[in-house]
C-alpha cells in the first residue's frame, strides 16, 4: 500500500525568500514520486519527478526536490519565491515495478502557497 | 501535441439532468484516468482505462456515474441523473509507461467545472 502526507496545508512566504514544501510517503516497493502544481482554474502541471535515478531532482521554474529513502521524504524547495509561484502543490506517489499498482497514483492533500510582496 | 483536451470547460445544469463530460487523451497514451476535485475531498480517482478497457472503477461514487472509452482517442464520463453534490471539477489525465515497470507521469487536461443547481 502507498500513501503520501503533505505536512503543511498552507505556506506563506515573502517574494525572494526560500520555499520549502514537505512531503512524506510510504510505499511497499520502489516508488515513483512527483510534484505537481495547480494554478487557479487550471489543470495540474508536472514540476518534477523521481523514478530511481538521481536522488536530487531538478524541475521547471527553479524547483528541485530530494528523495531521501531513509526519511521517506521528498521535499520540494526553491531558493527564491516569485509571485507567480502562488498556487497549490501536490505530492504524488506511485509504486514502481508492480503492475498491480499501476494506475494507482496517490495524491497528497495539497499545500497552498501564498507569496507576499 | 495539443495535450489532453476536455470539454466542456464549464457546465451549469439543474438537478436531475444528464451531464456528459468528454476527454481526448494525448495520442499514443494507453492509460486514461478520470479524477474529481472538490474542496472537501481533494482529488479522487474515479476510474481508469488501459487500452480502452476499464481497469478500476472502484472510485465511481454510485450507479449514476458511468464512463466509456469507445476508442483510443475519446472517453466520456456521464452522470445521470445529476445532483447538487456532484458539483466539482472533473479532470481527465493520460499517460504511458516509459519502459517496462516504470511509471510515467500523468498529463492532465484543464478540467470541466460542473455546477448542479
**Residues A49-96 pLDDT 10s:** 998 778 899 999 999 999 999 999 999 999 999 999 999 999 999 875
Contacting residues of A for B93, CB less than 8 Å apart: 44
User: A8, A110 in Cβ contact below 8 A?
Assistant: no
Of the candidates B65, B80, B70, the one whose C-alpha atom is nearest the C-alpha of residue B35 is B65
pLDDT above 80 (res A104): no
- Give the side-chain half-sphere CA count within 13 A for B114: 29
pLDDT above 90 (res A117): yes
Span A16-33, average pLDDT: 90
Q: Does A86 touch chain B (CB under 8 A)?
A: no
Q: Which residue of A has its CA nearest to B89?
A: A41
Residues B80, A108: Cα–Cα separation, whole Å: 30
Task: Give the residue from A103, A107, A108, A111 with the most B CB atoms within 10 Å of its CB, the best one to mutate.
Answer: A103
Span A95-102, average pLDDT: 59
Contacting residues of A for B101, CB less than 8 Å apart: 96-99
Pairing of strands A111-116, A10-14: parallel
**Which residue would you say has higher pLDDT here, B28 or A12?**
A12
Secondary structure of residue A68 in the 3-state scheme: strand
How confident is residue A97, by pLDDT bands cut at 50, 70 and 90?
low
pLDDT digits (tens, 9 = 90+) for B64-98: 999 999 999 999 999 999 999 999 999 999 988 76
Instruction: Supply the DSSP symbol for B64.
Output: T
Task: Give the residue from A9, A31, A43 with the most B CB atoms within 10 Å of its CB, the best one to mutate.
Answer: A43
- Sorted by sequence, the CB contacts under 8 Å of residue B106 that are 6+ apart come out as A34, A36, A44, A46, A92, A105, B33, B93, B94, B95
- Sorted by sequence, the CB contacts under 8 Å of residue B2 that are 6+ apart come out as none
Which regions in chain B score pLDDT beneath 50?
A: 101
Amino acid at each position: 500500500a502507498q500513501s503520501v502526507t503533505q505536512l503543511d496545508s498552507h505556506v506563506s512566504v515573502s517574494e525572494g525568500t526560500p520555499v520549502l514544501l514537505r512531503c512524506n510517503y510510504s510505499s511497499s516497493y520502489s516508488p515513483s514520486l512527483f510534484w505537481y502544481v495547480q494554478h487557479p482554474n487550471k489543470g495540474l502541471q508536472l514540476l518534477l519527478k523521481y523514478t530511481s535515478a538521481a536522488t536530487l531532482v531538478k524541475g521547471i521554474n527553479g524547483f528541485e526536490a530530494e528523495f531521501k529513502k531513509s526519511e521517506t521524504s521528498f521535499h520540494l524547495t526553491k531558493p527564491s519565491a516569485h509571485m507567480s509561484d502562488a498556487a497549490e502543490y501536490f505530492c504524488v506517489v506511485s509504486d514502481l515495478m508492480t503492475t498491480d499498482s499501476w494506475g494507482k497514483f496517490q495524491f497528497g492533500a495539497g499545500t497552498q502557497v501564498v507569496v507576499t510582496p | 501535441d495539443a495535450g489532453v483536451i476536455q470539454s466542456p470547460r464549464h457546465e451549469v445544469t439543474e438537478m436531475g439532468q444528464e451531464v456528459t463530460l468528454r476527454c481526448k487523451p494525448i495520442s499514443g497514451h494507453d492509460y486514461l484516468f478520470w479524477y474529481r476535485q472538490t474542496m472537501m475531498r481533494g482529488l479522487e480517482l474515479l476510474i481508469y482505462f488501459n487500452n480502452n478497457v476499464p481497469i478500476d472503477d472502484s472510485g465511481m461514487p454510485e450507479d449514476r456515474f458511468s464512463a466509456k472509452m469507445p476508442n483510443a482517442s475519446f472517453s466520456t464520463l456521464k452522470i445521470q441523473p445529476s445532483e447538487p453534490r456532484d458539483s466539482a471539477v472533473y479532470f481527465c489525465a493520460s499517460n504511458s509507461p516509459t519502459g517496462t515497470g516504470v511509471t510515467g507521469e500523468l498529463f492532465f487536461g484543464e478540467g470541466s467545472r460542473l455546477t448542479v443547481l
